[in-house]
């Protein structure tokens, strides 16, 4: 073996930083065509040389692709990179984060089973659990995010899964993953963590004992507000039934979106450093502003889960939820006066986005329903992008003066 080969092998075995993994993970060793950039494999099916090649494929001796609903080389590059970023054995791509969640629930929850979820989570996830899973005979119990004692009390003989976001939406609650896993695993319950709001740069739940980690890759992973995708990562054993379910249900990502996701992941560490910096600085500034009643951001000492967040996370991302010291009309004046962020749903892109949850997502809910979810008239969710901090802050300042 040459000196160059030995050096290369030693580098491969050494721990690598987040940015190095984001750029090189899952790609270099799989490039038969020697292209620096993984190509878009724009095909719906894959041909075989002869009948024996088909038999070898079916009997597991010829690992390759067969049909576009079950796999694509562009997908595989993304999945390998996700394994590296998350510290997992296997990953699956989906057409959206919501598809990742629903397919995983279908795969892991048989009829007459039971799931425990936390109260502060994406409204469409809650809707699916309440309106669809329960039709299949799956019972749902909702607990407060940080209450691991309640988690222990609610586990039953038929409980199969504990699911939570961390950080949650919209209050950015951060779950003590190690404790939740200890409680759940003691009773044979799997733990699924949606950590979309953190990204694998800031939080790797598999290292803290979670069985599966889920993302809406539309957000920080893609990073440019130009694709829809979802991911699930975990052990081969747990991921395999989810992969099979995705092949049956058909919620697959197309190869072009997979390519965009692969490209976005290469700059994940760089982007997250800027999101973290902007988010922390803006949260601290907003907390001291007289027009702001309260700020929810895990990086603030005032956040109920600040100590847990500090222990588990590298940084706290760019999403800040805050309540203005005004009514709905004042909140509308504020958000309409902003010039830099786009008023739009979603988060995690290079462009700052802002929304009033009451008008963007909860307008058709009754006041009682909104109150039960903690959605107030003056709540703002701000996803800071990677623009210059001084420019974002100046825009927020002038808008706050309009209240």
| CATH number of this structure's domain 269-400 | 3.90.1150.10
How does DSSP classify residue 336?
Answer: H
pLDDT surpassing 50 at residue 7:
no
Predicted pLDDT at 105? 97
Rounded to 5 degrees, φ, ψ at 164 are -150, 155
Say if residues 384 and 275 touch (Cβ distance below 8 Å): yes
Domain 12-265 has CATH 3.30.365.10: no
User: Residue 142: beta bridge partners?
Assistant: 117
Predicted pLDDT at 31? 63
| Integer Cα distance of 8 and 75 in angstroms | 26
Predicted pLDDT at 248? 95
What pLDDT, in 10s, does the model give residues 257-273? 999 999 999 999 999 99
| Integer Cα distance of 113 and 137 in angstroms | 7
pLDDT surpassing 80 at residue 96:
yes
Q: Which residues have a catalytic role annotated?
A: 69, 122, 194, 219
Q: What is the overall mean pLDDT for the chain?
A: 93
Predicted pLDDT at 5? 32
What is each CA distance from 173 to 308, 358, 362, in whole angstroms? 10, 19, 20
Task: Give the up-direction half-sphere exposure of residue 179: CA atoms within 13 A in the CB hemisphere.
Answer: 14
Q: How confident is the model at residue 223 (pLDDT cuts 50, 70, 90)?
A: very high
pLDDT surpassing 50 at residue 222:
yes
How many of the other CB atoms lie within 10 Å of CB of 290?
7
User: Residue 164: beta bridge partners?
Assistant: 193
Question: Please, what is the angle between helix 389-400 and helix 328-337, to 10°?
Answer: 140
Domain ranges of the chain: 12-265, 269-400
Residue listed under structure tokens 């805050």: 322
**Least confident segment among 31-45, 62-76, 124-138, 222-236:** 31-45
Question: Please, what is the angle between helix 268-287 and helix 389-400, to 10°?
Answer: 30
What is each CA distance from 306 to 5, 309, 319, in whole angstroms? 46, 5, 15
């Amino acid at each position: 073996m040459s000196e160059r080969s030995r050096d290369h092998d030693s580098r491969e075995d050494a721990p690598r930083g987040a940015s190095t993994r984001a750029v090189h993970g899952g790609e270099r060793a799989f490039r038969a065509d020697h292209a620096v950039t993984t190509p878009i494999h724009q095909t719906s099916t894959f041909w075989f040389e002869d009948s024996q090649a088909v038999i070898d494929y079916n009997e597991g001796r010829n690992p390759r692709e067969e049909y576009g609903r079950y796999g694509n080389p562009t997908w595989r590059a993304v999945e390998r990179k996700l394994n590296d970023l998350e510290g997992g054995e296997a990953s699956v791509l989906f057409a959206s984060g919501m598809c990742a969640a629903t397919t995983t629930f279908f795969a892991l929850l048989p009829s007459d089973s039971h799931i425990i979820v936390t109260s502060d989570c994406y409204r469409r996830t809650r809707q699916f659990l309440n309106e669809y899973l329960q039709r299949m005979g799956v019972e749902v119990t909702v607990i407060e995010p940080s209450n691991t004692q309640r988690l222990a009390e609610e586990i039953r003989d038929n409980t199969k899964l504990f699911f939570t976001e961390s950080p949650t939406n919209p209050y950015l609650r951060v779950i003590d993953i190690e404790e939740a896993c200890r409680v759940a695993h003691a009773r044979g319950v799997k733990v699924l963590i949606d950590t979309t709001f953190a990204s694998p740069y800031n939080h790797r739940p598999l290292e803290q004992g979670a069985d599966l980690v889920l993302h809406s890759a539309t957000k920080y992973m893609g990073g440019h507000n130009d694709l829809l995708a979802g991911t699930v990562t975990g052990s081969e054993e747990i991921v395999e039934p989810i992969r099979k379910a995705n092949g049956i249900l058909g919620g697959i990502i197309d190869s072009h979106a997979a390519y965009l996701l692969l490209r976005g992941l290469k700059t994940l560490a760089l982007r997250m450093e800027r999101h973290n910096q902007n988010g922390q600085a803006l949260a601290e500034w907003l907390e001291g502003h007289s027009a702001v009643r309260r700020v929810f951001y895990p990086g603030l000492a005032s956040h109920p889960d600040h100590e847990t967040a500090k222990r588990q996370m590298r940084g706290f991302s760019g999403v800040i939820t805050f309540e203005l010291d005004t009514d709905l009309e004042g909140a509308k004046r504020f958000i309409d006066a902003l010039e830099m962020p786009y008023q739009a749903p979603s988060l995690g892109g290079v462009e700052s986005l802002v929304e009033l949850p009451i008008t963007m997502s909860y307008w058709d809910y009754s006041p009682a329903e909104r109150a039960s979810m903690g959605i107030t008239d003056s709540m703002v969710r701000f996803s800071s992008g990677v623009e210059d901090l001084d420019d974002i802050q100046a825009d927020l300042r002038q808008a706050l003066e309009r209240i």
